[in-house]
Amino acid sequence: MDHFAYRNGVLHAEDVPLPVIAAEVGTPVYVYSKATLVRHARVFREAVAVAGRHHIAFAVKSNPNIAVLRVLAREGYGADVVSGGELDRALAAGMAAEDIVFSGVGKTEAELAHGLECGIGQFNIELEAEGAALARIASAMGKTATAVLRVNPDVDAGTHAKISTGKAENKFGVPIGDAPAIFARLAALDGLNMRGVAVHIGSMVADLDPLAAAFERVGELVTELRAAGHTITHVDLGGGIGVPYRPHDRLPTPAQYGEMVARVTKDWGVTLMFEPGRVICGNAGILMTRVIWVKPGVVRPFVVVDAAMNDLARPALYEAYHHFQAVEPGEGTFDANIVGPVCESTDTFAMGRTIDLVEPGDLAVFRTAGAYGATMASTYNSRALVPEVLVDGDRYAVVADRILPATIMAAERVPDWLD
């Protein structure tokens, strides 16, 4: 459920008519609904609370805007970060350092040291050498790093190949069969407190069975580690549950996910950690755009909008579907291709889709763009970096400015030896 709905024929974000935002901020622009973020945060928490002690760390990569993070911090969420930059954002948003989890397959030594200086709550170790480096850096600083070992359970999440992470051939985690030996070697190091394990098999997981299979393997590993004398107090179950991108998509609900987790983990006796991203912020955002042209095509017309693959990369990268709606739809629909202005054919949002009839100048939105939207934006084709707006009831604020090409150009130099 979200708070984007038509009132008197005009699409609103909560109580704000979208044309009001377009008039003030321009297009393209991301618009987030605070009420939707809060609702999703609470629904997810209630869902996983049935499984017992838990900690939720929002996957900052899905939407790192500091106003969005502040909303979630107020809901008691911590953060799952994958870079020093994301760590700084989570702290700037008011998240407590001990509520922050540092994931990521290629943390540099500088990032590990930065995490230790900030006093973050947990490092998710991806390989033995990283654990050894963390132990060494922590010892040199006179600290102990709290850590878990990420395992790769070799389970197919059944999601798009480019966002699958739990198959043996993926770069993430240590093979689950090697985990007991690696865990034992890391647990013996000074400077490291190995308190558990982590798993994440992929994003946009539309079926609970692979998740359950992965968690069951992790449960067996926990038993094995305890039998070897290790104290296991935390298991991080990652993120991954999907959201409906199409109006009629039926996906597992957070409640069904929570019930599955409770069933699989009931004897574990640990604090469960969760790293949800998309399920919290996906439906809480839209990308608003304006139609520039409706261009006749040989097969069907092209609706050329002012948003492009640099603003919302998901369709170009993963053939992702984002529902398209006119902000003030009239009567009728037509079959069209929806494309952006970037000079390559992959800048296509949809081919042969039946959409609201639109004309040049009309406003439209791509729905479910709150996750992996603005965060993956670029300035390709020397386009501006897309701005972001947060709505709360009848008020709204620009929470990220449009960064103009001139600002980007100002950071570039022509060395004198080129003269």
Q: Which residues are annotated as a binding site for pyridoxal 5'-phosphate?
A: 240, 275-278, 372
Nearest to 129 by CA among 75, 182, 73: 182
Residue 372 binds ligand LLP (CB under 6 A): yes
Residue 118 annotated among the catalytic residues of the structure? no
**Does an H or E element contain 410, and which?**
helix 405-410
Per DSSP, 305 falls in state E
Residue 45 binds ligand LLP (CB under 6 A): no
Compute the least distance from the CB of residue 281 to ligand LLP, in Å. Answer: 8
Q: Is 147 helix (H, G, I), strand (E, B) or coil?
A: strand
Compute the least distance from the CB of residue 219 to ligand LLP, in Å. Answer: 19
Residue 182 binds ligand LLP (CB under 6 A): no
Residue 278 binds ligand LLP (CB under 6 A): yes
Choose the stretch contacting ligand LLP; rule: CB under 6 A; options: 112-120, 238-246, 253-261, 397-405: 238-246
**Contact (CB, 8 A) for 307 and 340:** yes
Binds ligand LLP by CB under 6 A, chosen from 28, 64, 239, 258: 239
Q: Compute CA distances 419 → 161, 409, 414, 415, whole Å.
A: 47, 18, 9, 8
**Contact (CB, 8 A) for 362 and 26:** no
Residue 314 binds ligand LLP (CB under 6 A): yes
Cα(397)–Cα(343) distance, rounded to whole angstroms?
32
Structure tokens at 135: 């132990």
Cα(25)–Cα(28) distance, rounded to whole angstroms?
9
**Contact (CB, 8 A) for 301 and 294:** yes
Of 240 and 329, the one with the shorter C-beta distance to ligand LLP is 240
Binds ligand LLP by CB under 6 A, chosen from 191, 210, 238, 258: 238
- What values do phi and psi take at 314, rounded to 5? -60, -45
Query: Would you give the end-to-end CA distance of the chain in angstroms?
Result: 59
Residue numbers belonging to the annotated binding site: 240, 275-278, 314, 318, 344, 372
Choose the stretch contacting ligand LLP; rule: CB under 6 A; options: 9-17, 197-205, 294-302, 341-349: 197-205
Of 150 and 383, the one with the shorter C-beta distance to ligand LLP is 150
Cα(16)–Cα(68) distance, rounded to whole angstroms?
18
Of 243 and 364, the one with the shorter C-beta distance to ligand LLP is 243
Say which of 1, 298, 299, 343 is annotated catalytic: 343
Residue 89 binds ligand LLP (CB under 6 A): no
# of chain residues touching ligand LLP (CB under 6 A): 21
Residue 80 binds ligand LLP (CB under 6 A): yes
Nearest to 386 by CA among 394, 376, 396, 395: 376
Residue 200 binds ligand LLP (CB under 6 A): yes
Residues that bind ligand LLP (CB under 6 A): 59, 62, 80, 103, 163, 165, 200, 203-204, 238-240, 275-279, 314, 318, 371-372
Catalytically annotated residues: 343
